[in-house]
Amino acid sequence: MFFLLGQGINKETVDFVDGFPPIITLTAMILRLWDDLGTAKDENQDGNDGSYLECYTREHSNMTVERAREHVSQLICDAWKKLNRECLSRPSPFSSIFTKACLNVARMIPLMYSYDDSPSQESLKELMRSLAAHLEVQQPH
């Protein structure tokens, strides 16, 4: 997304992104932890998916699954606080377009993993189209 939103691809920008800036890692962390909360019970991957929730309950054998889920929810909350600080800090090494895109991705994550028993794929597709259209409008020409 960093490069799709107008950053030139050169050694300096690639090295910068490869350094895993917090705005990128926090967005990814929110995605991964929501994925573990949202689909861990639905997916049988025989322990091959590296679920944080599964690892945490193994390491803390006295921990109930519900308490582990609360712990993961707190990690998501903490990541959001840090992401907000990153996005509001000035000066920022990122364009406002990229910052907004990271926030929008993080905002959309709960929608992707908060389905009821009969998920509406079409509404998720419409939200994705809306976000993509917003990014196209925001992108510098």
Annotated domain spans of the chain: 11-138
Residue 27 burial class via C-beta count within 10 angstroms: exposed 0-12, middle 13-18, buried 19 and up:
buried
Comparing CA positions, the residue from 8, 17, 13 lying closest to residue 102 is 17
Q: Whole-structure pTM over 0.85, yes or no?
A: no
The CATH number of 11-138 is which of 3.40.50.720, 3.30.70.890, 1.10.600.10, 2.40.50.140? Answer: 1.10.600.10
Q: Which tokens is 54 given?
A: 């599964």
CA distance linking residue 6 with residue 17, whole number of Å: 14
Comparing CA positions, the residue from 96, 138, 98 lying closest to residue 17 is 98
CA distance linking residue 62 with residue 67, whole number of Å: 10
Q: Where are the alpha helices (DSSP H) in the chain?
A: 11-18, 22-39, 52-59, 65-88, 96-113, 121-138
CA distance linking residue 113 with residue 73, whole number of Å: 13
pLDDT per residue rounded down to tens, the chain (141 residues) = 766 666 667 777 777 777 788 888 999 999 999 988 876 555 555 556 678 888 898 899 998 989 999 999 999 999 999 999 988 888 877 778 888 888 988 988 887 776 554 455 666 677 677 767 766 655 554
